[in-house]
């Protein structure tokens, strides 16, 4: 941990020296800041909200830090609830918006020999309350360690975070290897922030990534799932995917996918995965929703097909082979990411519908149109056609089937007549004519 600096080393940027305006802030965040100030406590906005406000972005969340204890915060806000066991903090509720209020965290004195490990893979440090000068060294990146002071509207900077912010540099506070070991998820955050902000990773921060990738294996699968959603629902999923692979981090999240990518032929499945992520990014740019199960289905599709093929070689019919393959792939994947059952069920439906979309006669296509996952399965089919996995004719047929009239749909689904049947019908007609 870096050596704790004294208050004299803080650089204060007055209101005229930065572009943050209260008009950009959540009204409820301002209420929290002002009420804490009125109650005689220090109150600051900190972290990502300050970073994003400086960039002119609208923050999703506003985090507040204060010298008030959690119990004192609770007394100030009746609409609050204390959470956490190791380090308590307050959630202040304003309808659907929650403002998180944390007490300044204390320093552990820079004890780098403390190697106690939490069950979630993080190095343990004593969690005690402290001052703002202590709190700053608990934060991860310099650009996330900027404090907006509601008393005079200034920004306090203890780590030269404003300089890094202006230069577009993402720099860890303290020794990068130790900070990654303290909490390996910081490696994923480094990638996410670098992509999201367009910031360049500082050299030592980047170098340590290559040396620390294995630390992720000790993180609980449930926590990694939450982080994965943040990574790939950012609107820059394709760039994130490439960056994760560059730093050897992707394999810890999706080992089966990485195995397929390492053995790919004809640039597949990388092309398929990349196209799926590119399409997701386009949807987000257009303000449309993106469901986690779709990109997860794309990541694991090649693994499902590989296992299904082996199952069929052993005598299983296609439907059973794919059902068993889906179960196998999911059971392996959840060891890395604890994907909720509702999501894995949707993934199964998308995969298994690929078989049913081959059946285009009779009433079956009409039934498929009414299924909840039909649209996702159809989009998945288009993706397969676009990347050369299947004949585009199948995707074109389903596109047309959804666009034409019901009468035309019935013509499209009419079973083809065999030559024998045509001859039989002709003979009957000839006899009638006689």
Q: What is the pLDDT of residues 6-65, one digit of tens each?
A: 345 899 999 999 999 999 999 999 999 999 999 999 999 999 999 999 999 999 899 999
Six-digit token string for 164: 């890094």
For residue range 335-362, what is the model confidence (pLDDT) as tens digits?
999 999 999 999 999 999 999 999 999 9
Q: At what angle do helices 374-386 and 341-356 cross, to 10 degrees?
A: 60
pLDDT value for 110:
43
Could you tell me if 220 and 231 are in contact, meaning their C-beta atoms sit under 8 angstroms apart? no
Mean predicted confidence (pLDDT) in 137-157: 96
pLDDT value for 79:
94
**What confidence tier does 309 reach under pLDDT thresholds 50, 70, 90?**
very high
pLDDT value for 269:
79
For domain 1-218, the CATH architecture is: 2-Layer Sandwich (3.30)
Contacts of 265 (CB under 8 A, 6+ apart): none
Neighbours of 306 (CB within 10 A): 17
**What confidence tier does 120 reach under pLDDT thresholds 50, 70, 90?**
very low
More confident of the two residues 172 and 108:
172
Neighbours of 72 (CB within 10 A): 16
For residue 151, the SS3 value is coil
For residue range 50-100, what is the model confidence (pLDDT) as tens digits?
999 999 999 989 999 999 999 999 999 999 999 987 788 999 999 999 999
pLDDT value for 108:
55
Mean predicted confidence (pLDDT) in 320-329: 98
Q: How far is CA 391 from CA 74, 279, 411, 428, in A?
A: 63, 20, 22, 39
pLDDT value for 434:
36
92 φ/ψ angles, rounded to the nearest 5 degrees: -100, 125
Could you tell me if 297 and 380 are in contact, meaning their C-beta atoms sit under 8 angstroms apart? yes
pLDDT value for 86:
74
Q: What residues are labeled active site? A: 61, 63, 140
Six-digit token string for 198: 């367009």
- Residues of the chain with pLDDT > 70, as a percent, come to 88
Least confident of 103-117, 191-205, 284-298: 103-117
More confident of the two residues 125 and 225:
225
- In the chain, which residues fall in CATH 1.10.3090.10? 220-416
Task: State the DSSP string of 319-347.
Answer: HHHHHHHHHHHHHHHTTTS---HHHHHHH
Domain 220-416 in CATH 3.40.190.10? The answer is no
For the cut 70, the answer to whether the pLDDT of residue 111 exceeds it is no
**Mean of pLDDT over the chain:** 89
- Residues of the chain with pLDDT > 90, as a percent, come to 83
pLDDT value for 87:
80
pLDDT value for 128:
81
pTM, rounded to two decimals:
0.85
Six-digit token string for 85: 């066991």
- In the chain, which residues fall in CATH 3.30.460.10? 1-218
The strand pair at 154-157 and 43-46 is best described as: unpaired
pLDDT value for 416:
80
């Amino acid at each position: 941990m870096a050596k704790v600096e004294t208050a004299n080393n803080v650089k204060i940027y007055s209101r005229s020296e930065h572009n943050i305006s209260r008009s950009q802030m959540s009204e409820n965040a301002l209420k929290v800041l002002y009420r804490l100030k009125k109650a005689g406590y220090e109150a600051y906005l900190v972290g990502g909200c300050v970073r994003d406000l400086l960039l002119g972005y609208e923050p999703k969340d506003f985090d507040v830090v204060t010298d008030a204890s959690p119990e004192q915060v609770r007394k100030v806000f009746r609409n609050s609830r204390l959470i956490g066991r190791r380090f308590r903090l307050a959630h202040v509720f304003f309808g659907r918006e929650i403002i998180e209020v944390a007490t300044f965290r204390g320093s552990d004195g820079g004890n780098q020999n403390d190697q106690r490990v939490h069950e979630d893979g993080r190095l343990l440090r004593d969690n005690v309350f402290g001052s703002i000068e202590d709190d700053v060294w608990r934060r991860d990146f310099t650009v996330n360690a900027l404090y907006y002071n509601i008393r005079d509207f200034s920004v306090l900077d203890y780590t030269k975070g404003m300089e890094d912010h202006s230069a577009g540099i993402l720099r860890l506070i303290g020794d990068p290897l130790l900070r990654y070991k303290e909490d390996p998820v910081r490696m994923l955050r480094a990638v996410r922030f670098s992509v999201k902000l367009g910031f360049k990773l500082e050299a030592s921060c980047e170098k340590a990534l290559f040396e620390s990738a294995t630390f992720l294996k000790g993180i609980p699968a449930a926590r990694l799932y939450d982080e994965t959603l943040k990574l790939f629902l950012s609107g820059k999923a394709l760039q994130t995917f490439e960056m994760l692979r560059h730093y050897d981090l992707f394999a810890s999240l999706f080992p089966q996918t990485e195995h397929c990518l390492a053995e790919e032929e004809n640039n597949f499945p990388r092309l398929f995965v990349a196209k799926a992520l590119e399409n997701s990014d386009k949807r987000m740019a257009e303000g449309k929703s993106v469901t986690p199960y779709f990109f997860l289905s794309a990541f694991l599709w090649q693994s499902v097909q590989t296992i299904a093929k082996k199952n069929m070689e052993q005598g299983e019919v296609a439907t059973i082979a794919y059902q068993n393959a889906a179960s196998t792939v999911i059971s392996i994947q959840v060891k890395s990411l604890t994907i909720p059952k509702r999501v894995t069920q949707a993934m199964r439906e998308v995969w298994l519908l690929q078989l049913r979309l081959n059946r285009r006669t009779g009433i079956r296509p009409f039934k498929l149109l009414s299924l909840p996952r039909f649209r996702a399965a159809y989009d998945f089919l288009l993706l397969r056609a676009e990347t050369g996995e299947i004949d585009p004719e199948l995707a074109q047929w389903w596109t047309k089937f959804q666009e034409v009239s019901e009468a035309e749909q019935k013509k499209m689904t009419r079973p083809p007549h065999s030559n024998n049947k045509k001859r039989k019908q002709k003979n009957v007609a000839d006899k009638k004519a006689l």
